[in-house]
Structure 1
Amino acid sequence: MQRIAVLTSGGDSPGMNAAIRAVVRKAIYHGLEVIGIKRGYSGFIEADMWPMDLSSVGDIIHRGGTILRTARSEEFKTSEGRKKAYLNVQRFGIQGLVVVGGDGSFRGAEIFNSEYNLPVIGVPGTIDNDITGTEYTIGFETATNTVLDAINKIRDTATSHERTFILEVMGRESGCIALMAGLAGGAESILIPELRYSIDEVCEKLIRGYKRGKLHSIIIVAEGAGRGLDIGKQISEKTGLETKVTILGHLQRGGSPTAFDRNLASRMGSKAVEALMEGYRKHMVGIVADKIVISPLDAAFKGKRTIDLEIYNLANILSI
């Protein structure tokens, strides 16, 4: 193998740049050439790509987002679109591909490999932490800390005004961000899509707290569990408590990655290059028990990531 390519696809996540840096420098260290593909699969189709060298990834390890940019491509979902991409594989002499993204990006890579047999390695980069085959995805820890910082700041206002605050966080159909930030931030209730919840029980808990003298309450809602505005309205109507709603939105995707995410991305990006050199053809890298592992690529989307019930139950116990 002499030349590989790297792209970032789907939603951006803090640490993607660190992964790109690791791929490029690890490959060059071993004498490989690297092609950077801009705007994900859209750039793959449109030949928006260029040779990368050591200086291409200088001074980026601390930056959020992705220097390769990212996009979602409907055209790549078609056989005609993928054929255009393969013509660029031939044109640029690409012999292996590293895809940094989430399960949707991995599905595209898996199909492309099945059709054209180009070796592909997935690097899980998504704040949602919803990919099986790895305990952590790049960007999850940074996003969780962003939510925790918001909880800390909202708590000041909640206490001053004796209010209930609803904080809606991202995660699609995963409650990982909500759960871990809620536990760390001492939230009174954590509502996640993986588990059923009762608004009445949430309200009863709030009322018990205020009766014993609590000055405020904070409830974390994962976006897949319902709209924060709707939940806030129900709580206000049922309890009579003044309730405010904050939706963090895309704020959670930005910012400088934490040390954990930078190190994780560096390890995963490096391992992805090793996997290509060792002959893996349709796989992903992940982390399990602090070891970087290699799994079949379809493990990312054939299974379903589950919530750790022990952590959820602990959060409920500590918030009584």
Structure 2
Amino acid sequence: MDSLYSSSSISALKLHSFDHSNSKSVNSNSRNGFVRFSSQSAMGPSGNSQPKIVTGDAGYVLEDVPHLSDYIPDLPTYPNPLQDNPAYSVVKQYFVNVDDTVAQKIVVHKTSPRGTHFRRAGPRQSVYFESDRVRACIVTCGGLCPGLNTVIREIVCGLYHMYGVNKVLGIDGGYKGFYSRNTIPLTPKVVNDIHKRGGTILGTSRGGHDTTKIVDSIQDRGINQVFIIGGDGTQKGASVIYEEIKRRGLKVSVAGIPKTIDNDIPVIDKSFGFDTAVEEAQRAINAAHVEAESIENGIGLVKLMGRNSGFIAMYATLASRDVDCCLIPESPFYLEGAGGLLEYIEKRLKEHGHMVIVLAEGAGQELLSESLHQQDASGNKLLQDVGLWISQRIKDHFSRQKKKMPINLKYIDPTYMIRAVPSNASDNVYCTLLAQSAVHGAMAGYTGFTVGPVNGRHSYIPFYRINEKQNNVVITDRMWARLLSSTNQPSFLSAKDVMEANEEEEPPTQLLGDNCSDDKLVTRC
């Protein structure tokens, strides 16, 4: 047990959900591993599952994830096959203690409550599936991201080598592949070297989510473990699939692996593929710097991915140290007048003779005269090409001057290049941990969860925490201040903007607020 807990604090926990640790250990003869149970008691009054909340002394809150035993009684358990695996025999205390949790907030004041925790990821001593009865499937949805193939590979290899599972299917072409295409048998041999390739061997698509058809397909194929890899929209779809599976009373674990190259998934430390994207973005920034530096009044403009969150642009700028201005969706800017972008560009060119600008694709959308009111198949608003628009505005500005300053602007858009590459070494290791955590969770009977590191420790996180908001750059945070110090750019904020930013409350990191009591079922305050 982690030193974070004492026996008294554990015993003092008030559990507001079913305790799955009391399931019986017997042999199961259920066909295809399915156990059916009346769905009425499994659902909340609104038809959606209620959060599983554990509260305890000193403001302790555990936001637990669902478990199959929450709605299927008397589930049998089996010894974890890992205990006989020679590769893990040397690992001391390899199995995770059932009471281990991970704190969401680790920087606290001495009087702060213990705050929100999540269940620690990892293998358990008992599992809820017999290896020869597992029939798993993997699906990838949404846009491409470095590391997709690595996650697929490690789910397959983890199931095969750690748990002895030999029936794994790949769903071809995203959610719609459940009911419109054939499956792809996956074995360690099939996925052996796919981590060296970009993209996804399973194919992907946006939209196509028909919950009834998807769950019908899962049930008809005898699938009892579903691994869903995708962004926030995909995870919302995974949550709906879990709810329908639960309504039908099926013994099927649904595990999500969050994916977004923009790093806008909340709660977790970062999303896979982000490190690779930042590294690959350096190539475009370096090219822009060479072009700008090699000619009089050269301007290199690089547009990077970042629809609503500017993390790639910010971190690529900090890593490069050759950028003079970084524009992101979270930090508004204006073009004309004193303190505007055009004035800063002119000043920078006069002082240094060249300039590099990095621009997130979602930055400055409010400035474009024509806004698109269309959405893609995933429900994302289609964006105007702000890079082309700003390029033209810069050219127009300098051409209208009485004393014309000739400029040479090069616009580089590596958007799809940085997401189509294989993952780098760091992301490969990260993807391995994500995949194995998901496999351990599914075998342990957890369902309706997603995985990811919280303060460096991999955790099981309820779907609703991933789906409730997006992660954004906080422009009053030290990291943005470091960027401004690196580029020497103005903040482009008015005094009113600064005042409003400083008055914004820090995003909540725990369920308990000042007016909440820890002796009740906790709701957000």
TM score, norm. by length of structure 1 = 0.93
Whether 1:291 and 2:427 are equivalent positions in the alignment is: no
Equivalent residue for 2:312, pick from 177, 184, 193: 177
The unaligned stretches of length 5 or more in structure 2 are 1-128, 247-251, 366-385, 399-404, 489-525
Whether 1:235 and 2:394 are equivalent positions in the alignment is: yes
Shift of 1:47: 4.6
CA distance in 1, matches of 2:434, 2:239: 18
Shift of 1:87: 2.1
Shift of 1:220: 0.9
CA distance in 2, matches of 1:9, 1:184: 30
CA distance in 2, matches of 1:236, 1:300: 42
CA distance in 1, matches of 2:289, 2:331: 25
Shift of 1:177: 0.9
CA distance in 1, matches of 2:485, 2:341: 14
CA distance in 2, matches of 1:205, 1:69: 45
How many pairs are equivalent? Answer: 314
Greater shift, 47-56 or 133-142, is seen at 47-56
**Aligned twin of 2:345:** 206
**Aligned twin of 1:119:** 253
Matches within 5 A, 1:4-83: 4-29=136-161, 30-32=163-165, 33-74=167-208, 76=209, 81-83=210-212
Shift of 1:202: 2.4
For the 8 Å contact 2:215–2:244, the answer to whether it is kept is no
Superposed CA RMSD in Å reads: 1.7
CA distance in 1, matches of 2:295, 2:244: 60
> What residue identity is the alignment partner of 2:353?
L
For the 8 Å contact 2:288–2:410, the answer to whether it is kept is no
> What residue identity is the alignment partner of 2:359?
V
Equivalent residue for 1:105, pick from 219, 229, 234: 234
Equivalent residue for 2:466, pick from 300, 313, 318: 300
> What residue identity is the alignment partner of 1:31?
G
Percent identity reads: 32
Whether 1:319 and 2:457 are equivalent positions in the alignment is: no
Equivalent residue for 2:327, pick from 191, 204, 217: 191
> What residue identity is the alignment partner of 1:269?
A
CA distance in 2, matches of 1:301, 1:86: 21
Q: Secondary structure at the match of 2:190?
A: helix
CA distance in 1, matches of 2:197, 2:413: 24
User: Relative contact order (alpha carbons < 8 A, sep ≥ 6): 1 or 2 greater?
Assistant: 1
Whether 1:280 and 2:434 are equivalent positions in the alignment is: no
**Aligned twin of 1:222:** 360
Shift of 1:171: 2.1
Shift of 1:210: 2.5
**Aligned twin of 1:248:** 414
**Aligned twin of 2:98:** none
CA distance in 1, matches of 2:349, 2:143: 40
CA distance in 1, matches of 2:227, 2:327: 35
Shift of 1:156: 1.0
> What residue identity is the alignment partner of 2:452?
G
> What residue identity is the alignment partner of 2:425?
A
